Amino acid sequence: MIHDLDIGAILTSYHDFMNLQVVSTGPNPEWDESFSWSFESPPKGQKLHISCKNKSKMGKSSFGKVTIQIDRVVMLGAVAGEYTLLPESKSGPSRNLEIEFQWSNK
């Protein structure tokens, strides 16, 4: 169980990255942020990498990572779901990240 950790998430795509701030901590930390990237044309074969880390620990220990195919979001317009952070936890339940993506041509 996770207690009072300073958890952060880092999003990377196209050599850009964003650090997200935690809104609520505890066993189920929450991030309530929106972000956007501009593309010249719909991305093909691109991936969004998300890394969740404990920022209060020396070396920022990792809770896990997940990679999302952006093509699927472009094709469907929106994707929401729960993704398992890898590598999976060896000392407890799996760590999951619930996230929603939307694609817009605006």
70: domain CATH number is 2.60.40.150
Query: Mapping DSSP to helix (H, G, I), strand (E, B) and coil, where does residue 73 land?
Result: helix
Report how far residue 78's alpha carbon sits from residue 1's, in angstroms, rounded to the nearest whole number: 31
Which residues of the chain fall short of a pLDDT of 50? Answer: 1-7
Q: Which domain holds residue 49?
A: 7-102
In a domain, 2, yes or no: no
The domain tally of the chain equals 1
Q: What is the pLDDT of residue 1?
A: 33
Q: Model confidence over 22-35: pLDDT tens digits?
A: 666 666 777 777 77
* Tokens (6 digits) for 28: 């189920």
Q: Contact at 8 Å (CB) between 20 and 33?
A: yes
